[in-house]
């Protein structure tokens, strides 16, 4: 059931499905909770699944000019508290992964497990920060539609674009409908986010890292730069770009189900 709460005078939308041990899903940049529909439907057969529109995305409002990872983690906590979820398995895709890492830093007592899906604990490089600045400039210059379409295309492995043409179109619509202020706020927040490697290294909960072999944004080689926590598992999706929960949905659902069952034992 889609609901909303008010946080700092701004509406935050979320979807709450079924009942059972809670899994919270956080979408990526220029996406919304709607991208999780099929995954959430399958997971909800055994779990309570909550998906959140992060600030400035979907039907959640813009809170500030810069949506820091700390601010977005506070939004997640507000929803978790409102629903009285207790301990959760938190799944963050791409930008949602950055928010999940900030949540781990600020609210570790809420977590039963953590999943990063096509994300990284590393801070932006200088080159990546310049790319985000260029995107901000492009948005302000009125070329959002072109930028949104190009971004979505790049999130899929090139050899999956034809197979998932309807999904690509769906994500393009979501990206185009994301407000300029929402896009800019997220870009500025991601650009200034800290390095979370030590936070992840010291995590006291089970950790699952899912990466795509054909990802154009997050290289699987990132694992070599990390000291993972003791209870960790890394999964490489052979046929996925940056959208493994779509490109290899069935496999990802099984992996998430098995991980969540372990976390809630």
DSSP annotation string for 157-193 = -GGGTTTTHHHHHHHHHHHHHS-HHHHHHHHHHHHT-
User: What is the band of 209 on the pLDDT scale with cuts at 50, 70, 90?
Assistant: very high
For 144-197, write each residue's pLDDT tens digit: 999 999 999 999 999 999 999 999 999 999 999 999 999 999 999 999 999 999
- What pLDDT score was predicted for residue 51? 98
User: What is the band of 1 on the pLDDT scale with cuts at 50, 70, 90?
Assistant: confident
Q: What percent of the chain has pLDDT over 90?
A: 99
CATH number of the domain where residue 237 is located = 3.40.50.1820
Pull the structure tokens for residue 258. 């098995």
Give the total number of structural domains in the chain.
Answer: 1
Boundaries of domain holding 85: 2-263
Q: pTM score, two decimals? A: 0.98
User: How crowded is residue 2: how many other Cβ atoms within 10 Å of its Cβ?
Assistant: 13
Q: What is the mean pLDDT of residues 89-118?
A: 98
Q: How many CA atoms lie within 13 A of 65 on its CB side?
A: 1
For 211-264, write each residue's pLDDT tens digit: 999 999 999 999 999 999 999 999 999 999 999 999 999 999 999 999 999 999
The Cα–Cα gap between 114 and 210 comes to: 11
- Provide the 8-state DSSP code for 224: G
- What pLDDT score was predicted for residue 135? 97
Q: Tokens 């059931």 belong to which residue?
A: 1
């Amino acid at each position: 059931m889609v609901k909303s709460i008010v946080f700092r005078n701004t509406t935050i939308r979320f979807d709450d499905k079924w009942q059972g041990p809670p899994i919270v899903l956080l979408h990526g940049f220029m996406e919304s909770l709607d991208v999780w529909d099929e995954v959430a439907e399958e997971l909800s057969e055994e779990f309570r699944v909550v998906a959140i529109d992060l600030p400035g995305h979907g039907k959640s409002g813009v809170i500030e000019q810069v949506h820091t990872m700390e601010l977005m983690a506070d939004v997640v906590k507000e929803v978790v508290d409102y629903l009285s979820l207790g301990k959760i398995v938190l799944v963050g895709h791409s930008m949602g992964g950055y928010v999940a890492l900030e949540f781990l830093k600020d609210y570790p007592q809420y977590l039963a497990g953590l999943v990063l899906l096509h994300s990284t604990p590393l801070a932006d490089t200088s080159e990546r920060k310049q790319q985000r600045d260029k995107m901000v400039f492009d948005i302000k210059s009125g070329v959002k539609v072109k930028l949104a379409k190009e971004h979505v295309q790049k999130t899929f492995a090139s050899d999956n674009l034809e197979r998932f043409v309807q999904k690509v179109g769906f994500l393009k619509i979501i990206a185009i409908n994301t407000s300029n202020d929402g896009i800019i706020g997220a870009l500025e927040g991601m650009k200034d986010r800290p390095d979370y490697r030590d936070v992840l290294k010291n995590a006291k909960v089970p950790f699952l890292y899912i990466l795509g072999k054909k990802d154009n944004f997050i290289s699987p080689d990132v694992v070599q730069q990390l000291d993972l926590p003791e209870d960790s598992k890394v999964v490489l999706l052979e046929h996925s770009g940056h959208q493994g929960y779509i490109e290899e949905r069935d496999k990802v659902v099984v992996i998430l189900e098995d991980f969540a069952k372990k976390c809630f034992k």
